[in-house]
Homo-oligomer: A and B are copies of this chain.
């Protein structure tokens, strides 16, 4: 039998940290004994617990300690993080520590360094000379990088319940389609309004259905009026938006009267071709070819966008980054410091963004298909709200409420 003692601090009852720790211990066939517990008498008071763990083997204990780390449990006797130099380009050494999307610290020469650029499923590289630590994707590892191995000397700071906003407080992470949508629309509107006022960064991640369902005008409004700081999408959203701007259709909807017309799909290809002939979306705006829509709003308002390629793309449009590793890197640059991500009718980009967002960034995902939302929740993103709703009608209501200054 191997024994170890861990400590938990903070709102460990209220934020469910203590029960989750005990749950993990039992689920893995280990045992616990609560050596000491001090529980705050009021909500604002922090609590503290010291727990003795017993597992069958050293490797079981190691596994357990890694699992508990996510809930903030930390071994009482601390040591420096293990570091091994990368021996191969683009790969971690054996035994590398794999990150979560939670704030993380590593102990280096007795000091706790905050890990920068936190993402999930990456490694940690310590730059000894600079005294800094970086969350680093596998493909960026260079030979000689000092990579954290094992789990000793790594501390994870779990999200506490208080960190969540009003919206996240009342929604939970429930994705029932029978929820009243109007209330959610209004809370999201209020969050966007507050973000704009407080100059907090907001991301919009969208799939082509944003345009098909007729919400292009609403999204263009959000961009123009400063509610969106960055647009993350693919070839589809941009192509359908441009098709709409150039020919008045998106998969067969005529802009002027909402009626359906034939031949929509051909327009899609014509639109992509027209932009490729112009050289780029930006050039098409500047030459006066592209005069309205989401992409036009981004270019004229200076809202940056990343269009990531996918194998199903037609064309693609010139600004599309066809190398997916480069595209993910471009997304990374833009998401740093984001407060809120609004994800609408997108599965692929939603999961991609979910993978690289730190846990602190709030995420509201809207999709008519509950399965797309479930997939996003499954990926371990914290602070995520899933709303089962029609993208078009949702965004329309959102804009209407923003236009009224978020008052009834």
A interface, CB within 8 angstroms of B: 13-14, 16, 18-19, 22-24, 26-28, 31-35, 37, 39-43, 63, 66-67, 88, 90-92, 94, 96, 98, 121, 138-139, 169-171, 175-183, 186, 208-209, 212-214, 250-251, 253, 257-260, 262-263, 265-266, 268-270, 272-273, 276-277, 308-316, 322-328, 331, 347-349, 351-352, 355, 368-371, 374-375, 378, 380, 388-390, 392-394, 396-397, 408
Contacts and interface: CB of A to CB of B under 8 A. Distances in A.
A374 B23 CA distance: 24
B390 A312 contact: no
A388 B374 CA distance: 12
A47 B327 CA distance: 52
Contacts of A273: 91-92, 96, 138
Copy number of this protein in the oligomer? 4
Given A14-B23, A178-B208, A311-B348, 7 more contacts: A31-B43, A138-B315, A182-B258, A183-B260, A347-B347, A370-B374, A390-B390
Contacts of A277: 88, 91, 94
A276 B91 contact: yes
A160 to B, nearest CB: 12
Contact of A181 (B66, B171, B392): B392
A180 B253 contact: yes
Contacts of A26: 14, 43
A19 B28 contact: no
Contacts of A310: 310-311, 324, 348, 352
B324 A181 contact: no
A222 to B, nearest CB: 17
A16 B22 CA distance: 10
A325 B368 CA distance: 30
Given A276-B138, A370-B374, A182 B259 contact: no
A403 B116 CA distance: 54
Contacts of A408: 257
Contacts of A35: 41
B121 A265 contact: yes
Contact of A213 (B37, B180, B250, B266): B180
Contacts of A175: 374
Contacts of A348: 310-312, 348
A114 B369 CA distance: 42
A350 to B, nearest CB: 9
